[in-house]
Amino acid sequence: MDLIDDPQPGENAPEFTVGEISGAVKRVLEGEFGRIRVRGEVGRVVLARSGHMYFDVKDDRNSLACTSWKGQVSRLTVRPEEGMEVVVTGKMSAFGGQSKYNMNVDDVVVAGEGALMAMLDKRRRALEAEGLFAPERKQPLPYLPEVIGVITSPTGAVIRDILHRLRDRFPRKVLVWPVAVQGKDCAPQVARAIAGFNAMTPGGALPRPDLLIVARGGGSIEDLWGFNEEIVARAAGASDIPLISAVGHETDTTLIDHAADRRAPTPTAAAELAVPVRVDLLAWLEGQGGRLMGAAARGLGQRQQRVADLARALPSKDSLLAHPLQRFDLASRDLPRALMRGVERRGGVLGAIAGRLRPQLLLGRIAQGREASAKLEARRGPALSRSVALSRRGLVDVSARLRLPGLSRDITRRKEALAGLAGRLEAASKDRLAREDARVAALGRVLGTLGYHQTLQRGFAVVRAGGAVVTTAQAAQGAAALEVQFADARVNVVPLAEGADTPTTPVPAVPAAPAAAKPKPKAKRAKPAPPEQGDLF
C-alpha cells in the first residue's frame, strides 16, 4: 500500500484554503441577504474609545453581534441600551480571521410603542433617582420677564402661536433659537440651545433671556422622542434660567417636562404662563390706586377730626397766660423797690467797711519795708567785701603753705567757685530788693484804691467824734466836739445846741494827714471846679 493513498473513486468535493472558504462565506452572506432588518433585544453595549459601538441583538436562544462604526453612531435615531426591544437595519458580514459573522448596523429603532414606553419609564426612574426631578430644584418663574428665549422650529405654527399670544397679553422681547424638533438632530440641538442661552452674559450684544420656552407641536411618540433623550433632560435641569416645557399636547409627557421648572400643556399655554394680561394688570393697578386714594382720604379725615377734637379740648391762650402775666406784673411793680433796697444795703456795708480802714497801718508797713530794704542794701556791700577779703586772706595763707601743683589747681577752682557764689549772692540781693520795692509799690496802689482821700478830693468830708466816724445827724448833735476832715486839712467844730441860732466859733484847723505816696497820674483834661460846699452845719 502506498504511503499516500489516492482519493477514493467517485469523490469530487472541491478543496478550499481557509482564506478561500472564509471569503466565500463572506460573499454568500453579503450577496444573499443584502440590506436586512433584524428584531431582538439589546444585550451588552460597548462604546469603544475609537467611537465605534459594539452590541448584541438576541432572542431566547440566539445572539447576533452588531457593529456601528463611528460615522454611523452619530446618525443613529435611537441609542441602543441593554434590555431595549429594537429593530436594527444593516448588512451582514463575516470576519474570516475569527470565523465570526456580524451585522453592520446603520439604523436602530424601537420595536413598538410598548418597548418605547418601557425604555422611557426606565430612563425616567434612573434620572429621578439622581434627584434631577426633585421639587427643590424648581425655580420660580419671573413675574414679568423683559426678554423671553424660545427654542423651537422657526418655520412651524408653534412660534407664530407663541408670538401672537405674547402680543395679545403683554408684548415682550423674544429671542428665537432655531432647532430641529424631531429626528436624530433634535436632542443635541435642543441641549445646545438651552446651554447657549445660559452662556449669554448680561449686558452683551444680545440681551440674556429672563425665561426660556422649549416648544413643539403634537405628534407620535417617535416624533417626540428627541425630548425624551437624557442629554435634553439634563440640560433642562442644569439651566440657570427658569424654563417652561411645552412639548406636544396635554396628553403627551416627555422627560423634559419632568426636568423643566414648569410644564405647559401647549405652546399657547406656555405664552400665557410667561406673561400676565396687560389689560388685567392696568385694571388691577387702577383699582389698587383707587383703594389707596380712598384709604389716604379716610386716614386724613380721621386725623383731621382727631386734631379738631384735641383743639377743642385745649384751653385758650388767654387762660394759659393769665397766671404768668399776673406774676410778671407783680414782679415788675416790686422790682424798683427791690433794687433800691439792694443799693441802700450795699451802700451801708461799703460805708462801714470804709470807716474801719486804717491808712496809717498801711503807711507804717510801707515805711517799715523801705527801712528794712535800706538796711539790707547798706549791709550787703560791706558784708560781701569782708567775706571776700577773709576768703582771699585765707587762700593766700594756704597757698603760701602749700605749693604743690595739685593744691594750686584745687585753689584755683575754689577761687572760681567763690567768685561765682559772690556773683550769685549779689544777684540774689538785687532780686530781693527789687521784689520788696515792687511789693511796697503794690501796697501803695492798694492804699490809693481803698483809701478815702480820693473821695475827699471830690468835695466830701469825714466827720469824727472822739476818734470814731459819725454817720448820722443824731450822733453829731450828741457829741461835745466834732472833727471835720477835708481834702487839705481838718477842722474842729462844736455842734449848735438845740434851739440855738448862733454858730459856735470853730476851733483852729488841724492839718490833715498826708496821703500815701502814689505814682504820678497821667495828665488828664481839666475838669470844672466843683461848686462851693458851704457850711456843713
Q: Which residues of 351-370 are buried (b: 16+ CB within 10 A; e: fewer)?
A: eeeeeeeebeebbeebeeee
C-alpha neighbours within 13 Å on the C-beta side of residue 512: 21
- Per the domain annotation, does 282 fall within a domain? no
Residue-level pLDDT at 498: 60
**Is the whole-model pTM more than 0.85?**
no
Residues 166 and 221 in one domain: yes
The three-state secondary structure class of 137 is helix
Is 219:249 a contact under the CB 8 Å cutoff? no
Q: Does residue 390 sit in the same domain as residue 464?
A: no
Last residue of a domain, one of 276, 303, 321: 276
Is 209 exposed, middle or buried (CB count within 10 Å of its CB: 0-12, 13-18, 19+)? buried
The verdict on residue 436 lying in a domain is yes
Cβ neighbourhood burial of 86 (10 Å; 0-12, 13-18, 19+): buried
Is 4 inside a domain boundary?
A: no
* CA 330 to chain CA mean position, Å: 59
Last residue of a domain, one of 248, 276, 304: 276
Torsion, Cα of 69, 71, 75, 81 (10° steps): 30
Write down the pLDDT at residue 442: 83
Any domain includes 324: no
SS3 61: coil
| pLDDT for res 6 | 52
- Strand pairing category for 468-469 and 462-465: antiparallel
What's the rounded Cα separation, in Å, for the pair 288 and 303?
22
Q: Which domain holds residue 98?
A: 18-111
Q: Is residue 26 part of a domain?
A: yes
Q: Which residue is it, cell 466830701?
A: 460
Instruction: Say which amino acid occupies 498.
Output: E
Domain check: are 81 and 200 in the same one?
no
Q: Are residues 420 and 441 in the same domain?
A: yes
DSSP code string of 110-129: ESSHHHHHHHHHHHHHHHHH
Domain total for the chain? Answer: 4
pLDDT of residue 9: 54
Q: For the chain, what percentages of helix, strand and coil (3-state, to nearest 5) are there?
A: 50, 15, 35
DSSP-derived 3-state class of residue 518: coil
Q: What is the CATH number of the domain that holds 172?
A: 3.40.50.261
Q: What is the pLDDT along the chain (537 residues), one digit of tens a residue?
A: 444 455 555 567 888 888 888 888 888 888 888 889 999 989 899 999 999 999 999 988 899 999 999 888 888 878 888 888 888 999 998 887 778 889 999 988 887 767 778 778 888 999 999 999 999 999 999 999 999 999 999 988 999 999 999 999 999 999 999 999 988 889 999 999 999 999 999 888 899 999 999 999 888 888 888 899 999 999 999 999 999 999 988 888 899 999 999 999 999 999 999 999 888 888 888 899 999 999 999 999 999 999 988 888 888 777 888 888 888 888 888 888 888 888 888 888 887 887 776 677 777 788 888 888 888 888 877 888 888 888 888 877 776 666 656 667 777 888 888 888 888 888 888 888 888 888 888 887 777 666 677 777 777 888 888 778 888 887 787 777 888 888 788 888 888 766 555 454 444 544 555 444 444 444 444 445 444 444 433
Do residues 490 and 430 share a domain?
no
Helix (H) or strand (E) holding 475: helix 473-478
Angstrom distances, CA of residue 484 to CA of 409, 443, 456, 481: 76, 27, 11, 10
Q: At what angle do helices 267-274 and 157-169 cross, to 10 degrees?
A: 30
Clarify whether residues 426 and 472 are in a common domain.
no
Are residues 458 and 442 part of one domain? no
In a domain, 535, yes or no: no
Give the pLDDT of residue 497: 64
Q: Same domain, yes or no, for 425 and 398?
A: yes
Residue 404 lies inside a defined structural domain of this protein:
yes
- 199 and 238 share one domain: yes
C-alpha cell at 350: 461799703
**Same domain as 224, residue 150:** yes
Domain for residue 302, yes or no?
A: no
Q: Where are the beta strands (DSSP E) in 309-365?
A: none
Which domain-ending residue is among 260, 276, 292?
276
Residues linked to residue 54 through DSSP beta bridges, in sequence order: 46, 67
Q: What Rg, from alpha-carbon coordinates, does the chain have?
A: 67
Cα three-residue angle 464-467-469, rounded to 5 degrees: 40
**Together in a domain, 195 and 92:** no
Are residues 264 and 171 part of one domain? yes
